[in-house]
Amino acid sequence: MYRILVVVAALSMLSCSSDPAEEGASGRTFAYPESKRIDHVDVYHGVRVPDPYRWLEDEASPETRVWIEAQNALSQPFLESIPARERIKARMTELWNYERYDVPIVRGGRYFYLRNDGLQNQSVLYVAESLHGEPRVLLDPNALSPDGTIALGEFVPSPDGRVLAYSLSDGGTDWRTWHFRDVETGRDLPEVLRFLKFAEVAWTADSKSVYYSRYPMLPDGTGDGSKQREIYRHVLGTPVASDQHIFKVTDHPTRNPYPFVSDDGRYLVLFLYDGSQSQGIYYRKLGPDGAPSGDVVRLIDTFDAEYEFIAEIDDVFYVRTTADAPNARLVAIDLSRPSKDQWRDVLPETKFALRDTSILSDRIISHYLEDAHSVVRVSSLEGKPIYDVKLPGLGLAKGFGGAIDASETFFSYTDFLTPLSISRLDVATGEVSLFRAPKLPVDTSAYVTEQVFYESKDGTRVPMFITRKSDFAKNGQTPLLLYGYGGFNLAQQPAYSTPVIVWLEMGGAYALANIRGGSEYGEAWHSAGTKLQKQNVFDDFIAAAEWLIDAGYTSTPKLAIRGRSNGGLLVAAVLNQRPELFGAALPAVGVLDMLRYHTPSSNARQWSGDYGLSENEDEFKALYAYSPLHRVREGTCYPPTLVTTADRDDRVVPWHSYKYTAALQAAQGCDNPILLRIETRAGHGAGKPVWMQIEDFADQWAFLVRALRME
677 strand-pairing partners? 644
Q: Is the dihedral of CA 510, 516, 520, 521 positive or negative?
A: positive
Whether 12 is catalytic: no
**Rounded distance, CA 95 to CA 701, Å?**
15
Give the residue from 176, 16, 72, 6 showing the smallest Cα distance to 646: 72
Whether 373 is catalytic: no
The torsion region of residue 575 among left (phi > 0), alpha (psi -120 to 50) and beta comes to alpha
| Beta pairing, strands 363-370 & 559-564 | unpaired
| Beta pairing, strands 176-182 & 163-170 | antiparallel
Cα 320 to chain centroid distance, Å, stands at 22
For 40, the 3-state DSSP assignment is coil
Count CB-CB contacts under 10 A for residue 10. Answer: 13
**Rounded distance, CA 701 to CA 711, Å?**
12
C-beta separation of 564 from 586 below 8 A? no
For 554, the 3-state DSSP assignment is coil
Give the residue from 191, 259, 193, 189 showing the smallest Cα distance to 223: 193
**Rounded distance, CA 202 to CA 709, Å?**
53
Count CB-CB contacts under 10 A for residue 318. Answer: 23
The torsion region of residue 517 among left (phi > 0), alpha (psi -120 to 50) and beta comes to left
Report CA Rg, the chain: 26
C-beta separation of 535 from 626 below 8 A? yes
C-beta separation of 347 from 366 below 8 A? yes
C-beta separation of 530 from 566 below 8 A? no
Q: Which of 207, 366, 565, 602 is catalytic?
A: 565
Residues with a catalytic annotation lie at 565, 684
